[in-house]
A and B are shown apart, each in its own frame.
Chain A
């Protein structure tokens, strides 16, 4: 079994098989479904610009299971949204990524690569952990997705090779992507 066995839904509601991405290096990311201040989108776009021509594809899956309590951001200032958050990589339909209702792809990804803790050196790590302990303590149990912008790196054969938590910035995983290209 590999990620190519999974089908996901596009924003227009059409079925898309991940086997269409066979032979590519994939970065699968659960994104925030609101349009706030999200520096990770900008960094992901930079990765995409740098490596798309060499075979990287980034797949974004918006989810609102982590809505509302994002630490360290102030998104009410901006009163507008950019279509697809201003990124050019594919953004799929909104759906759940954790718990019983999670999309099968994310159940598979989190079973393949388990939660190994946050990088506590990242400035958001401490407030994020505090927010989770206070509001969603159950999210910290097990291997489910903890927050927006958890990233899974897939090699050209469809194997899940790495999982990066929200506390790992997209730019810091460039070297991991390069190794697979």
Chain B
């Protein structure tokens, strides 16, 4: 399973989240909620809002915002 980051381009916390995942060597897929309607719909389904970054692996559990501690926990869960 792959990490997905729901985001939009001018969101600085989305950029921070992506950089952080890169620094941890985690591959991720960018889902742009501004340019891609499907991504926006899915983001709404997952979190109920268009507030990002939303980092998720399974589309159920997610981390809202640039929160290193929670992102770490998510990555560790994936490694199990």
A residues 39-67 with Cβ under 8 Å of B? 62
Q: How far is the CA of A169 from the CA of B8 in the complex (A)?
A: 28
Q: Are A83 and B8 neighbours in the complex by a CB distance under 8 Å?
A: yes
Say which size band chain B's interface belongs to: 20 to 34
Q: How far is the CA of A34 from the CA of B9 in the complex (A)?
A: 11
Q: How far is the CA of A62 from the CA of B66 in the complex (A)?
A: 22
Q: How far is the CA of A170 from the CA of B53 in the complex (A)?
A: 29
Among B12, B40, B51, B66, contact of A82 (Cβ-Cβ < 8 Å): B51
Q: How many residues from A make CB contacts under 8 Å with B?
A: 14
Whole-angstrom distance between the Cβ of B15 and the nearest chain A Cβ? 10
Is B28 an interface residue when CB atoms closer than 8 A count as contact? no
Is B38 an interface residue when CB atoms closer than 8 A count as contact? no
Q: Are B8 and A80 neighbours in the complex by a CB distance under 8 Å?
A: no
B residues 16-58 with Cβ under 8 Å of A? 16, 33-35, 40, 49-53
With A34-B12, A62-B10: A81-B35 Cβ-Cβ less than 8 Å: no
Given A81-B10, A83-B34, A94-B10, 14 more contacts at CB 8 Å?
A: A12-B35, A34-B12, A79-B13, A79-B65, A80-B11, A80-B51, A80-B53, A80-B64, A80-B65, A80-B66, A81-B11, A81-B12, A81-B14, A82-B50
Q: Which residues of B contact A (CB under 8 A)?
A: 8, 10-14, 16, 33-35, 40, 49-53, 64-67
